[in-house]
Structure 1
Amino acid sequence: MEDTDEALYPIAVLIDELKHDDVVLRLNAIRRLSTIALALGPERTRDELIPFLDESVDDEDEILLALAEELGNFIDYVGGPPYGHILFTPLENLAAVEETVVREKAVESASKIVAVLSQQQVEEFYMPMLKRLSVGDWFTSRTSACGLYAAAYPHVSPAHQDELRHLYAQLCNDDTPMVRRAAATHLAVSQRHESRLSPRRELMRTRCNRVDIASQKFTRTLTKAHIISDILPVFNSLAQDEQDSVRLLTVECLISIAEALKPDECKTHILSVLRSLCSDKSWRVRYMIADKFVQLSKTVGADIIKEDLMSAFVHILKDSEAEVRTAASTQVPGFCALIGQDVILSEVLPCVKDLVTDPSQHVRAALATQISGLAPLLGKEHTIEHLLPLFLQLLKDEASEVRLNIISKLDRVNEVIGIELLSQSLLPAIVELAEDKQWRVRLAIIENIPLLASQLGVAFFDEKLSNLCMSWLGDCVFSIREAATNNLRKLIEVFGVDWAKQTILPKILAMAQHSNYLYRMTTVFAITTIAQAANPEVIRDYIVPTATTLSADPIPNIRFNVAKAFGVLVPILKKAENMTMLNDQIKPTLTKLSEDADMDVRYFAQKALLTA
């Protein structure tokens, strides 16, 4: 082959693969663009490969998405930053396609490229592209343009900055709602706005190994004077938009603008919009306000919280829509941390009491996760008087999710009122939940037992909870039995090995003689887990003899689990340098099991012998 033919070979192969019927093959060809570019060299990549990609690739969305991603990392292959602007040509076309995911990736890649270019390149090449996209006939190009302003603004002259602000204002007032939504999103959101994606789009992102990167807020690139003079007018227009899908995005804008202003300036410039959004006719807008209420409150200052947001918060806690009340419930402790205790008791707590009996399970579940956060704010006396009755009510809720959520946060209450009061008030309800028909509730109780045990002490635990912990070992659900064995190991770590020898080990070893094979199986799991927290004496006197006895069990499942248990014990004994027990007891038992009639028993026994 002649030199010229060799030079043309990479592009010829690429053309063939990109025209192939198989999407996977075409996708792999795009993924190899960097290799082809290296073979061509920077000059031929600029002169041949980039024009070819720009003119010839008219493919499925998966291919275009991969191409948009590759181009964002292509600067070095075209000769470095001095030639980076060449990549804007294909990216401009990709930013105007119909598929949203492709456009987003093209915008992301263009923003990465512009960050390394000189001011001259940005003004000569990026600005014209941005203008073309901003006034494009199709809304897709104008939507993409909204995401390109923040990246360019710091890199251009003041005159061009004025032009960019003017063009962005036009996009905020665009006739198409999709463009106004994009303008509102990129005006303030610090990360790319993620809409709900179809399974197909999620698949595309998975195939192309999509990674989100943070993008600047456009307002963050502006001075306060420009925010007040140029951004506030378009923000006010967006906040009064006829489309609620646009108005709800202005909540993020409101927070972003408030971050740039002082509290007294917030009163002057954004208070009226804040009031209107808090009482918006659309529940979706009120939901966004509720979801961001703490973040919003922290930015506007104490005066606005006291004069306006306190009453607004009460209203959203009583909102007619369950979704709004759910979002507001998650904000209760965060907002209460910004107001006084007296206000919490007089204004917020009555609403919380109503939410405890809310008709919506989702509202009660959200509140159950957060209500314990009020305990440190109210103090011991008010927690006992006002919160404990609410905890008891939530612990008896008909929805298992509500009960789970309140159980998982009891440690916060314990820090305030102490374990003695907590046990007197809530322990009966917790014991009742230990036998709950929902196994996930029982599981949540088990996971919290070691924490309660460490705070209750040995005497109280042995009296109230010891039998309960043992009963879980016979639960009908495997996940509960497994969690119960792990729970015993944690209890040994809390109370010590001597306690285990006197209390739980005799009960576990008694289960080894039970007629039900599930109890014998659980015994194997329990001694395997306990061995990891036990001392050599316990392993010698209790665990190894029990495992040896069970190695002759008539049930094959028990025998191969004994072999697996010995596989756990071998490293422990080696570490303790107890080779006598290993050689005299464990190896003979494993050798016998390695000749078992059951194939699985032989496999695990032989596997354990390899480590012995």
Structure 2
Amino acid sequence: MASYYDDTETRPLQLLVDELKSDDVQLRLNAIHRVSTIALALGQQRAREELIPFLSESVDDEDEVLLALAEELGKGFEEYIGGKEYAHLLLGPLETLSTAEETLIRDKATESITKVAAVLSPSQIEGYYLPLIKRLSRGEWFTSRSSAASLYAPVYDVVSDVNKEEMRKAFAALGSDDTPMVRRAAAKALGPFAKKMSKEDVLSSALLVYKKLATDDQDSVRLLTVQDLIVISTPLSTEDIKKHLLVQLRSSVSDKSWRVRYMVANHFVELADAVGQDLVREELVSAFVQLLKDNEAEVRTAGAGQIPGFAKLIDQELILARLLPCVRDASQDVSQHVRAALANQISGLAPLLGKDATIEHLLPLFLHLLKDEFPDVRLNIISKLEQVNSVIGIELLSQSLLPAIVELAEDKQWRVRQAIIEYIPLLARQLGKNFFDEQLGNLCMGWLADHVWSIREAATINLKKLTEVFGVEWARTAIIPKVVAMSTHPSYLFRMTTVLAITTIAPTLSVEALRDDVLDPLILLATDPIPNIRFNVAKSLEVIAQTMGKIPEGSQVSQKRIIPTVESLKNDSDADVRYFASRALVQAQRAAAAA
């Protein structure tokens, strides 16, 4: 490594040259990742005079190598060549990379050019950056013109008015380019560019480019103009929007391409915020209803995700009259994705409607969605009940909700029962300890006796999560006694479930709970006549020993109670029992030695 920092020799650069000429792609890639180290070894002057020209000539390589080079040059590389006053030298290799055929390389190169631009002085921008944009914008290949589009916005607000006018004209030319890929790049870059413009320039320049792109024959271009519409609308008055943008707004909502309508639906709340309250009521309510009734499920899904956000912008009367019928239809949509999106958002309407309207209109929809055959729908409803709880109260919510949960918990399909078990911790966190103990505690314990193994396993994991929610003291009174009571059950399956439950919840328990409540019944099961139970006891003692080893006072418990038990199991007649007992003994001895 010493030779890398020998500033008197050419070895660092020669090493880079040799590695970049290697047939091994990985070697060349590693060389690029070390280019900052090479620059440091060469020193700032030689890095400027030798390394940068060499890198400019080394842009004919595998895509992953070029991608790495484009990234490295944007990581503050100017510090290795003398600081900000020489940062413009990095634009040379990056300009070449920004014309590459591979999109990822071009995107990374333009990203790095933007980072370099942030440290350039106004004179460097005028002398080096703007000429770079001009060359790229007039390039023969579409790749250079595509890259140019994203480079206008970063420096627009720091150049002279004359240059601003030239930049607006040059960007407009990109928006009218013959190649769809260039127009697509212009549509993507128009929003950030327009953000930097004054209102007058938006009306005289950005608006014209937007209208041209919004009527493009390629839907891949039109869909990108939705976000441009949001940006352009923001600084304009309601009258300006009505005069200049209303036609385009209506056209986007009714566009022949579902992908454009999807983009409108997906950004509808942003669009509504941008155009203002008057147009929301006059135009966008009807437009939103149209999107919620679209014939494409993807559009309806995106619209469903915007419901509560849009509802905040209108009054309760309009919500009940116009949106709620669409919500009811969406709750019965043929697409499970539409129903899932609605279930994830519908609870957001409760605070807007108030208690009475929520009880009358939303609760029936909650209960309907809670019985949906698609698991994500049920999960989304349950995970957002806290908002409903805050509006109508836990008592009323539980009266409505509990029958549906109980019905699902006893469903004949075990996968449905398992899905409900997985939702219980979410419910517990939202509905509180008292409600859980009164209404769901027995239900959770009942799952431990289910005839399906997966349900019993899920039930033990559920107990661990509930302990994390409500705390160890709650578990010592509400869970552990019931689990321990199963250890003397005549059925082998019940005794096995006890061991499984203890193993699962042990890491969440305190030393006191393990020592006083769990260990004795577990040790008794070490003499169970069923080998499967005995080796699972050994596995459980291993877990408990690990927990004990983390706490000083746990060492005595391991020494006096766990080690004797696992030593006896080491002499068991069953090979599996002996194996797991040996593992447990190692952990127990470590725990005993921890003090």
What is the TM-score of this pair, normalised by structure 2? Answer: 0.90
1:233 aligns with 2:236: no
1:383 aligns with 2:362: no
1:125 aligns with 2:128: yes
Note closer, same or farther for the CA distance 1:56–1:411 as it changes in structure 2 (3 Å cut).
closer
Q: Which residue of 2 aligns with 1:191?
A: none
1:78 aligns with 2:81: yes
Cα distance, 1:595 vs. partner?
Answer: 6.5
1:442 aligns with 2:420: yes
- Give SS of 1:218's match: helix
**2: CA distance between counterparts of 1:524 and 1:275?**
64
8 Å contact 1:317–1:328 — kept in the other structure? yes
Q: 2:390 aligns with which of 415, 422, 428?
A: 415
Select between 318-327 and 449-458 the one with higher mean Cα deviation: 449-458
Q: Which residue of 2 aligns with 1:199?
A: none
1:115 aligns with 2:103: no
Note closer, same or farther for the CA distance 1:161–1:569 as it changes in structure 2 (3 Å cut).
closer
1:588 aligns with 2:564: yes
Cα distance, 1:401 vs. partner?
Answer: 2.2
Note closer, same or farther for the CA distance 1:420–1:512 as it changes in structure 2 (3 Å cut).
same
**2: CA distance between counterparts of 1:234 and 1:68?**
30
Q: Which residue of 1 aligns with 2:453?
A: 476
**2: CA distance between counterparts of 1:6 and 1:515?**
85
Select between 92-101 and 392-401 the one with higher mean Cα deviation: 392-401
Instruction: Give the aligned residue type for 2:88.
Output: H
**2: CA distance between counterparts of 1:183 and 1:558?**
64
Q: 1:489 aligns with which of 463, 467, 472?
A: 467
**1: CA distance between counterparts of 2:118 and 2:431?**
56
**1: CA distance between counterparts of 2:472 and 2:569?**
35
Q: Which residue of 1 aligns with 2:150?
A: 147
- Give SS of 1:137's match: coil
Select between 246-255 and 270-279 the one with higher mean Cα deviation: 270-279
Structure 2's unaligned 5+ residue stretches are: none
Cα distance, 1:80 vs. partner?
Answer: 1.3
Q: 2:26 aligns with which of 18, 24, 27?
A: 24
Select between 34-43 and 100-109 the one with higher mean Cα deviation: 34-43
Q: Which residue of 1 aligns with 2:580?
A: 600
Note closer, same or farther for the CA distance 1:452–1:253 as it changes in structure 2 (3 Å cut).
closer
Cα distance, 1:580 vs. partner?
Answer: 6.3
**2: CA distance between counterparts of 1:12 and 1:396?**
70
Q: How many pairs are equivalent?
A: 576
Instruction: Give the aligned residue type for 2:396.
Output: L
What pairs with 1:190-205 in structure 2 (closer than 5 Å)? none
- Give SS of 1:358's match: coil
What pairs with 1:388-403 in structure 2 (closer than 5 Å)? 388-403=363-378
Q: Which residue of 2 aligns with 1:95?
A: 98
Q: Which residue of 2 aligns with 1:61?
A: 63
Instruction: Give the aligned residue type for 2:234.
Output: E
Note closer, same or farther for the CA distance 1:354–1:492 as it changes in structure 2 (3 Å cut).
closer
Structure 1's unaligned 5+ residue stretches are: 189-216
8 Å contact 2:467–2:508 — kept in the other structure? yes
Note closer, same or farther for the CA distance 1:535–1:81 as it changes in structure 2 (3 Å cut).
closer
Cα distance, 1:43 vs. partner?
Answer: 1.8
**2: CA distance between counterparts of 1:378 and 1:544?**
53
Note closer, same or farther for the CA distance 1:163–1:479 as it changes in structure 2 (3 Å cut).
farther
- Give SS of 1:117's match: coil
Q: 2:171 aligns with which of 168, 175, 180?
A: 168
Q: Which residue of 2 aligns with 1:611?
A: 591
Note closer, same or farther for the CA distance 1:88–1:277 as it changes in structure 2 (3 Å cut).
same
Instruction: Give the aligned residue type for 2:135.
Output: R
8 Å contact 1:567–1:611 — kept in the other structure? yes
Note closer, same or farther for the CA distance 1:535–1:434 as it changes in structure 2 (3 Å cut).
same
8 Å contact 2:476–2:517 — kept in the other structure? no
Deviations 1:349-386 (A, max 9, x none): 11111111111111111111111111111111111111
Q: Which residue of 1 aligns with 2:537?
A: 559
Q: 1:38 aligns with which of 37, 40, 49?
A: 40
- Give SS of 1:175's match: coil
1:304 aligns with 2:284: no
8 Å contact 2:383–2:427 — kept in the other structure? no
Cα distance, 1:578 vs. partner?
Answer: 7.5
Deviations 1:287-340 (A, max 9, x none): 111000111111211100000001101111111111111100011111111111
Instruction: Give the aligned residue type for 1:246.
Output: V
**2: CA distance between counterparts of 1:132 and 1:568?**
66
Select between 482-491 and 24-33 the one with higher mean Cα deviation: 482-491
8 Å contact 1:492–1:499 — kept in the other structure? no
Q: 1:369 aligns with which of 315, 337, 344?
A: 344
Cα distance, 1:447 vs. partner?
Answer: 2.1
- Give SS of 1:7's match: coil
**1: CA distance between counterparts of 2:37 and 2:429?**
56
8 Å contact 1:563–1:593 — kept in the other structure? no
Instruction: Give the aligned residue type for 1:179.
Output: V
1:269 aligns with 2:244: yes
8 Å contact 2:87–2:120 — kept in the other structure? yes
8 Å contact 2:219–2:257 — kept in the other structure? yes
What pairs with 1:154-553 in structure 2 (closer than 5 Å)? 154-188=157-191, 217-436=192-411, 437=413, 438=415, 441-451=419-429, 454=432, 456-457=434-435, 460-461=438-439, 465-472=441-448, 474=450, 475-477=452-454, 480-490=458-468, 493=471, 496=474, 499-500=477-478, 504-514=479-489, 519-528=494-503, 539-553=514-528
**2: CA distance between counterparts of 1:487 and 1:72?**
45
Cα distance, 1:487 vs. partner?
Answer: 4.2
8 Å contact 1:356–1:367 — kept in the other structure? yes
- Give the % identical residues: 51
**1: CA distance between counterparts of 2:23 and 2:492?**
58
Deviations 1:497-526 (A, max 9, x none): 6742xxx43431233245666644442343
8 Å contact 2:266–2:303 — kept in the other structure? yes
- Give SS of 2:177's match: coil
**2: CA distance between counterparts of 1:329 and 1:443?**
27
**2: CA distance between counterparts of 1:421 and 1:263?**
44
Deviations 1:375-403 (A, max 9, x none): 11111111111111111211222222222
**2: CA distance between counterparts of 1:66 and 1:457?**
56
**1: CA distance between counterparts of 2:62 and 2:436?**
67
8 Å contact 1:450–1:487 — kept in the other structure? no
Cα distance, 1:592 vs. partner?
Answer: 4.0
Q: Which residue of 2 aligns with 1:14?
A: 16
Instruction: Give the aligned residue type for 1:317.
Output: L
- Give SS of 2:38's match: helix
Cα distance, 1:551 vs. partner?
Answer: 3.3
Q: Which residue of 2 aligns with 1:200?
A: none
